[in-house]
Amino acid sequence: MEEQLVKASAHGAMASGALLLPLAATLLLLFLLHDCWFSPALKRRRLRLAGFRGPAPSFPLGNLPEITATMAAMPPSSASVSIGSADIHGGVFPYFARWRGSFGKVFVYWLGTEPFVYVSDPAFLRSVAGGAPGKLWGKPDVFRRDRMPMFGRGLVMAEGDLWARHRHVIAPAFSSTNLNDMVGLMEEATEKMLSEWTALAANSASSAVVDVERGVVRNAAEIIAKASFGISTTDSDSNDVGARVFEKLQAMQTMLFKSNRLVGVPFARLLHLRKTFEAWKLGREIDALLLHIIHRRRHSQSHDTASKKRKDLLSLLLLAGNNGNGKQQQDQRTMTGRELVDECKTFFFGGHETTALAVSWTLLMLAAHPHWQDALRQEILEFIPTNEGTQLEAAKLGKLTKMGWVLNEVLRLYPPSPNVQRQALHDITLSSPDTEKKTVIIPRGTNMWVDVVAMHRDEALWGTDASEFRPERWAAGGGCGDRMGYLPFGFGGRVCVGRNLTGMEYRVVLAMVLRRFELSVAPEYRHQPRVMLSLRPANGIQLLLTPLPAAAASNNNTSTD
Ligand code: HEM
């Protein structure tokens, strides 16, 4: 009897197992159908009803085939356009330029099964995301997953309470007092770059052709690594941790940059398993090395007074969660080791290339517009005469007004971050002057892609000289009269937290370069701005550098001292 009962229950278990399996498979299928097909189809219908038009998507790639085909039809990277070209938008975002022509400044397109509202109209942007409605938007999940190895849950990707807490701790670390203390390290790194350039010029008798972008990116990486966590690419600490972290951070950036992922397409990651796996593996190695640095710093901060005086961002974040006795206090400002790792990576990835591109594009613009180069050099010599020595002071750098105009103008024409993205956290209702309906609803989960390049070169906003380099347009307050029309650092509560650090680094590097060299565009330079995450020159920036007599004299003085 007992045996029969056991058999019966085993049979029952098998039967229910046999039932459970197809049930689980059906549920999984339903879930996938909902996620990949039903939910996007519903959003598409709602967006259409709301009056949004756009190119017809296919399933499951959305508009990716058209984007890929348009990019493939572009001229090769060796082709170039004139430096003052009006059509860089058609070169960097050819598909948006085409759709903008057909559907206007606001339309919907699809990356895989992810809908994106494309926006290049400041008035529309203000109505959906300016002021209070700004809180209804977060960062797109589709990019968060993609860029996890780079930023983790750092500030760029954080959301809700986590974001608010981190922003509250991080923003004060970028105060002008703290940044002033970083001028010395910026100067030290830049001096190394300039010495290399001087040596090149000496080897070529008088002037040298230098790819300034390459040097400036390396210099910015050195500065950000020192400013963020006090490590350097060259002078490694006893365990060589600094140099290894740096190497791996750069390797990861290259890997993520090269891997051609089908953003928004369900399961596309499976096609790039090896690259995804390698990026995650590198990410874990970087995390372990950074954790090591953080533990050591925590330890030394509680035992060593000299360490408390360190001014890098990591030390400032550790001090923010410190009760003054060197003991971490568990309050809102305390970050865990994991959180600190993610923030350090975020500063590295978010901070160095963007700043380097701002400097590089500026060097090109000054080489192409010698009167502006002269004007800046004169301004520098007026406020920071060379006979005061090479030491730069933050207060004097702050007086370089024309340099500020030039920075604004370069960020307008060549914004290193060519787009800003958001995702609707709720259904967003707005009144629409453009459609017959009284209100428009953007469904929760819809992404928004703000085309910064298009807005920054829009003649309706900036006038018919929109494509020209005219820093004087920033003289009297400047701008285009619409704050949402100029967004190099994003907008609202999520505006870039590192913009003052960029301003400081920009001034230090430019002041040093312009005091030392005269710049002109080298014949081999091919102007072709391209978007590869950032807006960058496809072929580097080759300039002819001629050492200035005053610099030569001060170098001679230094060498005879
Ligand atoms: C020219 C230089 C830079 C440009 C063009 C730039 C651009 C941007 C943009 C467009 C955003 C997104 C804003 C938004 O979503 O509305 C952003 C966010 C951010 N940037 Fe920068 N950035 C630069 C320099 C830096 C530097 C030097 C750092 C740090 C060392 C930095 C750290 C960050 C962080 C942490 C965020 C996230 C802010 C948040 O979501 O609260 N950036 N930046």
Please answer whether residues 225 and 289 qualify as being in contact, where contact means their C-beta atoms are separated by less than 8 angstroms: no
* Sole residue written with tokens 């400032």: 316
Q: How far is the CA of 221 from the centre of ligand 1 (A)?
A: 15
Q: What is the pLDDT of residue 561?
A: 32
Instruction: Tell me which residue range forms the domain holding 176.
Output: 51-547
Residue 453 lies in a domain: yes
3-state secondary structure 420-478: EEEEECCCEEEECCCCCCCEEEECCCCEEEEEHHHHHCCHHHHCCCCCCCCHHHHCCCC
Residue 337 lies in a domain: yes
Closest CA to 390 of 186, 177, 175: 186
Is 462 within 8 Å of 480 (Cβ atoms)? yes
What pLDDT, on the 0 to 100 scale, is given for residue 555?
Answer: 44
- 3-class SS string, 519-540: EEECCCCCCCEEEECEEEECCC
Residue 558 in any domain: the answer is no
* Within-domain flag for 233: yes
* pLDDT score recorded for residue 241: 67
Distance 496 CA to ligand 1 centre (A): 3
- State which of 349, 452, 495, 496 you would mutate to test the pocket of ligand 1, scoring each by most atoms of that ligand within 8 A of its C-beta: 496
- State residue 19's pLDDT score: 73
Residue 23 has what pLDDT? 83
- Known binding residues for heme are 496
Indicate the SS3 state at residue 286: helix
Largest CA distance in the chain: 107
Closest residue by Cα to atom 18, ligand 1, is 496
The answer as to whether 225 is a domain residue is yes
Give the count of domains, the chain.
Answer: 1
20 in any annotated domain: no
Instruction: Give pLDDT, residue 494.
Output: 96
Nearest CA owner, ligand 1 atom 11: 496
* Residue 42, domain member (yes or no): no
471 belongs to a structural domain: yes
CATH number at residue 200: 1.10.630.10
- Please report, in tens digits, the pLDDT of each residue of the chain (561 residues total): 556 655 656 566 566 667 778 888 888 888 887 778 888 889 999 999 888 999 999 989 999 999 999 998 988 766 778 888 777 999 999 999 999 999 999 999 999 999 999 999 999 999 999 888 899 999 999 888 777 888 888 999 999 999 999 999 999 989 888 898 899 999 999 999 999 999 998 888 778 999 999 999 989 988 988 888 776 655 544 446 666 777 887 788 777 766 556 777 777 777 777 877 888 888 889 899 888 888 888 887 766 666 566 678 888 888 876 544 445 455 666 888 899 999 988 998 888 899 999 999 999 999 999 999 999 999 999 998 865 555 788 889 999 999 999 999 999 999 999 999 999 999 998 876 555 556 788 999 999 999 999 999 999 999 999 999 999 999 987 789 899 999 999 999 999 999 999 999 999 999 999 999 999 999 999 999 998 889 999 999 999 999 998 654 444 444 333
> Residue 328 pairs with which residues in a beta bridge?
322
- Residue 8's pLDDT is 59
